Structure 1
Amino acid sequence: MHLSFKERSLDILRLGPVVLPVHALLALLGLGAANAVAAWYRRCRGIDPGPALWRMTLVGFVAGRLFFVLRHHDLFADSPWSALNIRDGGFVPWAGWLAALATGALLARNSAPLRRSLLAATLAGGAVWLGATLLNQALAPAREPIPAIAVQRLDGATVALDSFKGRPLVINLWATWCGPCRREMPALMAAQRTHPQVTFVFVNQGESAQAVREFLSGHQLDIANVFVDPARQAGTATRSLGYPTTLFYDAAGTLRLRHVGELSQASAREKIAGLDGPP
């Protein structure tokens, strides 16, 4: 696989048939660096910080998810089991980091060699993750606008996507055959109703208006602003490599966030809140 330097700075990466969010890939790189340092200590110094490092990772992962769920407890109250569906990417990173560091301090409190090796592994992983994240942000294309392309309403009328500029905009690229797209539709329908200050636009990729109408009717989905894009122009213009991809634009029409994969109502709320801050 070949990627240009600019393409590496995107929010998604295709590895053969697999599409990965870049933030997840960067986290895996950091974790890999930490474990490489742990392996070196085990091999060269006879000290194994690996088990403690994995406990830190597990606790940090759970804590980051738990804080996210508590932050949006009203949305999880009716379906608490949905809190286990981590495919929405809902985590609070600072809570995860604090919990992981506290766990490491507790596990190594009685062993100076373990403290040193665990600190070295943690710093290596954190440095790789932070450095790669900052580099990716520095290389990212600046101020991507809403694509100036035309899509079709289900009645055949043509609408320019950039005509929605002027208020926060969420563009969801989806297909009826896409499992995660189908699963997230009820959550996005609810988000559309609870965030009237935001325009939600659903652009089906590559299918007919008839197929989309049958899908919406069959699943009893009452969603506004549903369009079809038979030539997949929107996916090409936004360099979206997989579905569902949800794009979050501020009122000035600038792309602020990109989410690849399934969204929950909670993760949609979190990302919409990010549109209010400075770019």
Structure 2
Amino acid sequence: MERTLALGPLALPWSMLLLMLAWLLGSLLHEGLARRRGLGAGMHHSWLMLLAILLAARVGYVLAFAREYAAAPWGVLDVRDGGWSPWWGLSMAISYLLFLWASTNRWRATVSVGTLAALALWGSGWLWLHQGPPAGVEPPATALADLPDWQGDALDGSVLALSALKGQPVVLNFWATWCPPCRREMPVLLQASREQPQVRFLWINQGEDKFKAGRYAQQQGLPAGSVLLDADSTLSHGLGLRALPTTLFYDAQGRLVAARVGELSAATLAERLRLATAGR
């Protein structure tokens, strides 16, 4: 489940912050030890390993969702979608160390110490993030195990209660017309809703009136019965959501299984839909 650190209007993913902290620790330790041993800082290894890990993690993710990226190849370069494979990155780190030892590189010991320290920090942080919402983390939505007890007015005039949707996977997308990432991801969500009719997709507009939300929804071809109005942002405030777009994924039992703060690509959407539809 993705967790973010809220800094005013910004929502930063803890996973990326954790990686940067781990890299900083490992780099400082490696370079400090290298200087003490008279080897020189060896800073190039700090940067080379980071770049190699990021590249491997991205390649692994792209290969896992090759079909989605094939439909939009330029998306491979757009790393804002958060598509990374940590196990590919870990494999690259191990491979890098093995290469240094096999080539008897003079920095092999200091790089190894720094890498092990970074991995220890990253591993403990990963466990910490997955045990529950840490202090300062803002999506309280992750603390809600079930579909919220909320009902909203749809653009077609109907009233829909979220709790009544248990029995099928549900995707809640929180958006607004003034939000550029919301607009960019809209076609991806709409296409997925057409390809996976067993999943209920709902677009919950934040803080706007029926006319403004309805006009934009009509332009985008969104089904009127699936666009709900949260004019006073009661639902998003109750969930503790701070950033748009935010998308929540629930399985057929109504349990929250994934969340995405920020723009979705076809690949990152497919990844989370797998979690929501698992077991069906």
The interval holding the TM-score normalised by the smaller chain is 0.7 to 0.9
For residues 54 and 257 of structure 2, the distance between their equivalents in structure 1, rounded to whole angstroms, comes to: 25
Shift of 1:49: 4.1
Q: Deviations over 1:96-150 (max 9, x none)?
A: 2212321333245333641111111111111111111212222336662111112
2:173 counterpart residue number: 172
2:156 counterpart residue number: 155
2:139 counterpart residue number: none
Q: Tell me the TM-score normalized by structure 1.
A: 0.88
Q: 2:120 aligns with which of 127, 130, 134?
A: 127
1:67 counterpart residue number: 60
Q: Deviations over 1:159-187 (max 9, x none)?
A: 22222122111111111111111111111
1:25 counterpart residue number: 17
Shift of 1:65: 1.4
Q: Measured at CA, do residues 262 and 62 of structure 1 come closer, stay the same or move farther in structure 2, by a change above 3 Å? A: same
Instruction: Look up the SS of the partner of 1:262 in the other structure.
Output: coil
| Runs of 5+ consecutive residues of structure 1 not aligned to the other structure | 1-8
Q: 1:44 aligns with which of 36, 44, 54?
A: 36
Alignment of 1:54-203 (within 5 A): 54-111=47-104, 113-140=106-133, 144-203=145-204
1:208 counterpart residue number: 209
2:137 counterpart residue number: none
Query: Which letter does structure 2 place at the counterpart of 1:180?
Result: P
For residues 118 and 255 of structure 1, the distance between their equivalents in structure 2, rounded to whole angstroms, comes to: 40
Query: Which letter does structure 1 place at the counterpart of 2:275?
Result: G
Q: Deviations over 1:197-224 (max 9, x none)?
A: 2111111111112111211233x33346
Q: Measured at CA, do residues 78 and 10 of structure 1 come closer, stay the same or move farther in structure 2, by a change above 3 Å? A: closer
Shift of 1:50: 2.9
Q: Measured at CA, do residues 49 and 255 of structure 1 come closer, stay the same or move farther in structure 2, by a change above 3 Å? A: farther
| Runs of 5+ consecutive residues of structure 2 not aligned to the other structure | 134-141
For residues 35 and 177 of structure 2, the distance between their equivalents in structure 1, rounded to whole angstroms, comes to: 51
8 Å Cα contact 1:56-1:104 kept in structure 2: no
Shift of 1:38: 2.3
Shift of 1:244: 0.6
1:14 counterpart residue number: 6
8 Å Cα contact 2:170-2:200 kept in structure 1: yes
1:35 partnered with 2:45: no
8 Å Cα contact 1:27-1:129 kept in structure 2: yes
8 Å Cα contact 2:2-2:259 kept in structure 1: no
Shift of 1:60: 1.7
Q: Deviations over 1:61-106 (max 9, x none)?
A: 1122122222222222232112111111112211122123213332
Q: Measured at CA, do residues 71 and 112 of structure 1 come closer, stay the same or move farther in structure 2, by a change above 3 Å? A: closer
Query: Which letter does structure 2 place at the counterpart of 1:21?
Result: P
2:138 counterpart residue number: none
1:6 counterpart residue number: none
Instruction: Look up the SS of the partner of 1:241 in the other structure.
Output: coil
8 Å Cα contact 1:64-1:96 kept in structure 2: yes
Instruction: Look up the SS of the partner of 1:213 in the other structure.
Output: helix
For residues 93 and 64 of structure 2, the distance between their equivalents in structure 1, rounded to whole angstroms, comes to: 19
Q: Measured at CA, do residues 97 and 56 of structure 1 come closer, stay the same or move farther in structure 2, by a change above 3 Å? A: same
RMSD of aligned residue pairs (Cα, Å): 2.2
For residues 53 and 145 of structure 2, the distance between their equivalents in structure 1, rounded to whole angstroms, comes to: 33
8 Å Cα contact 1:34-1:124 kept in structure 2: yes
Query: Which letter does structure 1 place at the counterpart of 2:65?
Result: H
For residues 35 and 18 of structure 1, the distance between their equivalents in structure 2, rounded to whole angstroms, comes to: 27
Q: Deviations over 1:29-82 (max 9, x none)?
A: 222221221232244333434311321221221122122222222222232112
